[in-house]
Amino acid sequence: MVTDAKILIAEDENIISIDISRTLQKLGYIVLGSSRSGIDIIKKSEELKPDLVLMDIILHGDMTGIEAAEIIMKNLDIPVVYLTALADDETLHRAKITEPFGYVLKPFDERTLHSAIEIALYKHKISRQLKERTLELEEERNKSNELLHNIFPAEIVKELKENGFIIPREFSNVTLLFTDFQGFTSMVSKMPPQILVNELNDIFKSFDTILESYRLEKLKTMGDSYMVACGLPNENIDHAKNIICAALEMQGYLNERNKTSEYKWIMRAGAHSGNVVAGVVGLKKFTYDVWGNTVNIANLMERYSLPGMLTVTEATFNLVKESFNFKFKEKIDVIGNGEINTYFALGAK
């Protein structure tokens, strides 16, 4: 039993109000006061913040107890128990619409009133706990969704939620970009761990922002390596153009950063266009990944590139040669693919 609950009384008859107050005090409740009008009981509820309001349906003034109860329960989240002599079907129906926490008829007996109050207080406590738990679950769901969207493209998150798995797909028109940093191993050996992580985090966050502006998908980072795709999971006719624009902007960002930074980061990059298979693998810590000959060649372009340069294959060159300036680099013999012409991407025309 809640013996210290604070209660307000809304009753238009003073004698009845005094009788109710005495009964409540006898039962161990704290009576904060009483009101005769709907406007006044709302005002006192706001000021005194009772645990429960006992509400007569007939009150002084233009506002009924039902109208006052609706405002108090909705705006102040305070439970209301009707204590009234009105018991006709129409009044009961109107009262039930407001979903009160109890309904006691006059003349009341002590036990009935006591039970109604305790049940109302308990119902309100459970209701509040459910609301709080619902908010907590909603917050957790939002955190989970945010985490998923940070790991996977939006379309993959949707498919994963709807089906519980991802169907592998082949994409015919994709451009992949690989990047890494010159002398990274040497820098790691000389740089304090915290500074190294801070430097990489700062650079990769800036890279992420650049990718968003060109609708690219970051697939993974491994040490200093950064892997990017365009053309999946949504097809994009400008996949090669967007990749080159982003890569050149990344190079430009590093050049500006190096002017004032203690540590100088020189990036080399490689890109290739073609078809890939994409999907999610693993049961734990799974990632959205791509496979195929295009992946291998794009990775090879990065390894054959030079510090501060972006090297692309002829396949990528042919897609964007009208939009960018290129310089022929060399012909490379790629196992299983024969000789491939490669080019430096110098900038937009």
Which of 176, 345, 179 has the alpha carbon at shortest distance from 274?
A: 176
Residues 256-310: pLDDT tens digits?
999 998 889 999 999 999 999 988 776 665 677 889 999 999 999 999 999 999 9
User: Cα 298 vs. chain centroid, distance in angstroms?
Assistant: 33
Check residue 96 and give its pLDDT: 66
**C-alpha to C-alpha distance for 257 and 200, rounded to whole angstroms:** 13
pLDDT tens per residue across span 91-133:
666 666 666 777 787 888 888 889 888 988 998 888 888 888 8
Strand 6-10: give its sheet, edge to edge: 30-35, 6-10, 52-55, 80-84, 102-105
Q: How many CB atoms lie within 10 A of CB 269?
A: 28
Residue with tokens 């110098």: 346
Structure tokens at 254: 């590093």
Name the stretches of the chain with pLDDT < 70: 1-3, 87-99, 144, 147-153, 155-157, 159-166, 282-286
| Phi, psi angles (nearest 5°) of residue 3 | -95, -10
* CA gap 325, 323 in Å, rounded: 7
Instruction: Give the pLDDT confidence score for residue 180 in this predicted structure.
Output: 92
Do residues 5 and 24 make contact, with C-beta atoms less than 8 angstroms apart?
no
226 beta partners: 179, 221
Residue 108: DSSP 8-state: P
pLDDT of 2 reads 47
The pLDDT of residue 282 is: 65
Q: pTM for this structure?
A: 0.61
For residue 66, what are the contacts with CB-CB under 8 A and spacing of at least 6? 57, 94, 95, 98
Q: What is the pLDDT of residue 176?
A: 96
Identify the CATH class of 6-132: alpha beta
Burial per residue of 234-268, b for 16 or more beta-carbon CB atoms within 10 angstroms, e otherwise: eebebbbbbbbbbbbbbbebbeebeeeeeeebbbb
Please report which residue ranges of the chain form alpha helices under DSSP H.
14-26, 38-48, 65-76, 89-97, 110-151, 154-163, 184-190, 193-213, 239-258, 293-304, 314-320
Q: Domain 168-348 class?
A: alpha beta
pLDDT at 308: 92
Each domain of the chain, given as residue ranges in start order, spans 6-132, 168-348
Residues 72/50, Cβ–Cβ less than 8 Å: no
